[in-house]
Every structure is written in C-alpha cells, then in structure tokens.
Structure 1
Amino acid sequence: MILLGDIGNTDIKISLYSNYKKLILKKRINPLLLNFNKLNFHFSFLKKYLKSIDKILFCSVVPNKFIKIKKYFEQISNKKCYELKKIKIEKLIKIKVKKNQVGSDRLANAISVLETDKNFIIIDFGTATTFDIVINKNYIGGVIAPGVKLSLDNLTNKASLIPKINLKKIKNVIGKNTSSAIYSGFYLGYNGLIDNIIKLIIKQTRKKFIIVLTGGLSHLFKNSINGKVKLDKDLTINGLLKASDLIK
C-alpha cells in the first residue's frame, strides 16, 4: 500500500492507495498538537493497514510538522517516510527554478498535470492563492497572491462592524448592504485578479494553456474564469501518487 499526505498550514490531508493505485481511504485532519499521543489518536484509523504499507510520501509546507510526522510514521511502521523534494522528481519534471524556492505542494500539483506537449496554469486556492506554470513538462515558475479565505478572515477579524461570511458567487457588483458588498469585492475582485494574472502569463510566454483549479474555494471560480478550465480537488495527492513510483 502507498500512504500519501499533504501537510498544509491549516490541515493535513491523508490518502491510502493500494499498490495498484486504487484509493482505499482519504481523510482530512487538523491536529493542534503534534506530540506522539495526539498523532496516535489522529492517525488511529491507519493502524490496521500499517503492516501492508510499503511506501510513505508526503509533501509539506510546514517543515516542523513534517519532522514530527516523519518520526511518528517511521516509528510505528518501520518504513522510511519521504518528503517529495527529497526524492528525484527531476526524473518526472524539469524544474527551471531553484527547487528550494517552491513549495512541495506546488511541485506535486505540477507533477499531477504532466502531459507531453500540453501547457498548464495551476491555480491552488489554499492559504495563499498560487499560480504555477507548466510548459511541455517543464515547471517554469509561478505567482503567489494572498489567499481568498485568509484575506476574508483577516478583514472580518480586524473590522468589528464587518460580519463573518462564507464566500459565494455574486453577479451584482454594487452591494446593497455590507454582506453583499463583501461578496462582490471578494468574489468579483479575486475573479479579476485571476483573469488578469492568466492574461499576463499568456502575454509573457506566448503560449496557450489549460487552466486547472484546486484547493478549498476553487469550485466557486470554475465557471467564471476565461479559458478552458478543469477542476481537481485531489490534484496534490494525485501528483504524490505519480511521484511515489520513484520510491523503490
């Protein structure tokens, strides 16, 4: 079996696959503490599979969390736990920037979309809104903008008269009350940001792209972005699954 994990700033996504790459289970957890007992509790659902796990691969943008999780899994499974950037992913994708300057979740996303002679812009709606550009199996760089939810939470936490809301689609740009004005500013504002960054990427590269969306609020923007758009909420894990073939 293949155990895969995506360690983010807010939560950890875990997936378990058979060696034939059939999904067995997936789970999202949000551990506040990462001592052994807490990890044992949060990952108790994996215990019955431990003897069957052959490979363990994570991507992580929180190094201190990965160190604790790596130690935990190596202790309970007696298997080596790898981080994506520590294996030879250059066998799958050519990285045209310094590897240590790119989050491993973004590299996992790039690996996930690899197809010969096709170009991709991957937009990940996470803690940050990231844009990653893949041209003919080459990762050439990206763009990082503030995350939608992070920006919204920051606004409502700092402004006492602005209510907490869950972002949704909106058509009317002029809000009739505070909530509708926020919906307009964030939904249409981010939609404009996304379209403009895509436009500038196309202008700079002179290429055509398939746009792939992933991450928390990606579904809200699928039908409002210019161009051919795909939605894949499991993009990062799928990239890890491809990369797991490199572990022997």
Structure 2
Amino acid sequence: MKIYDDITPALKAILFHFIRGYTVWTSFIVPIEKLEGIASKWAEAYGTQLPAWKRQDRKEKKLATAVALAAPVISRPGMRQVMLMATEHALTMPKASDWSREQWLTRLPEFSEFVMVHEPREGAEYAWSWRIQERVLDGLQRHLVALVKAGDVGQLKHETTHLVQLYPLYGGVRRQIRRMYRGAAKLWTATRKSNWPGPDPERLPMMIGFRKDPGVVAGAKRAGEFLIFDGR
C-alpha cells in the first residue's frame, strides 16, 4: 500500500490508476494504527505489492489485479482513508476468491470530499479531474453566504484564503470555488458597498503539474508534490 502524507498526490495517484484500468474500487476510513494490518491483508489477498510488470502481466491474461493507497483525512489527524482499486476482472473472479467477497463499487471514484469527473476544461477539451462533492459544496456555499451576511472582513478573508490553501485545486475544484467566490463577491459588493476582501475569483491558484524544482516556474509553490501557480 502506498501511504501518502498529503491528499494532493493521493488524488493524482487515483486518477493515474483509474485511467490505466483500475476502475472498480472500495474505500473506508480507519485509525492510523490499523494501516499496517490492512496493507498486509491486501498484499496477501490482492497482490497490491506486486511490481508493475507483474500487474501488467496479470492484466494481459485478463486476471484481476489491484493497487492500494492511503492518505490523511481532512480535519481528522488520527485517521486515514484507504482505497483499494482493481481492474474490472475483479467482478468476474471465482466466487470462492477474496475478490468476489469484496464490495466493489463501479461508479466514479470518490475520495475524501472529492469525486472524480470527466468534464470539459476551459478550452472545451475533456479531461479527467476532481470536483468537490455536492453535499460538501452545498455546506461551503451556505457557510460563505453566512460569512458575507455577518460582515466580518477579517474572518471572511481568513476562511476564504484558507480554503484555497487546504483544497487541492484540480481544474474541477478550482472552477467550483471560482463560481462560489464570484457569487459571494457580488453579494458582498451589493450589501456592503465595498470591495470583496477574499481571494480574487479570477486569479485562484492552479495546478500546473509535477516538477522537481518549483523554482523553474515563477510564482510557484509546492503543495504535496504538485506545483501551485498563483495565476489566472
């Protein structure tokens, strides 16, 4: 099991595995001290520690293969979310096998507060990305409206800035937050008759990919293994 210290590279890894055929999955949250036992169990039952070439060999033979990962849970420091991802052949393995006893999910992966999506980017080209789950987004929007109505400039600035630092700004997430901040900025301007104190919705940080040296891109900073660019 690959254990990540940051959710940003964990989400990237899930995208990576999904695109490469690991399209069925199961996931749950456990205390951090249980990770070792789960990793051992999955390694024995599903071969999650097999080298990449052996997994590829199994895929070519139409045998199930799996990968596993774990990452921190937002606001729950003692917990970790684990995910087991497998190829579609897991659904047709013999009934007596461990594979058949697993409760595999076939919908698009969900991890932490995010759900994978296939949606158009700003250039109308489709791409796999992440979005904030609707139930979470609804709560964020209600809270933001309450902050605007309360009129506390300091608190509003702190919480809106913290959100874009906390959440990995994959394209889908970034577009959601931009729309949310646009609406909040309009409400603030209309009710407070002053400039929006939060981050500029048109200049939110953006993912630009992996680099060994963040200094190669002006204005970039590290978030997990990703670079975040404070640009448009």
Specify the TM-score bucket, using the shorter chain as the normaliser: 0.3 to 0.5
**TM-score w.r.t. length of structure 1:** 0.32
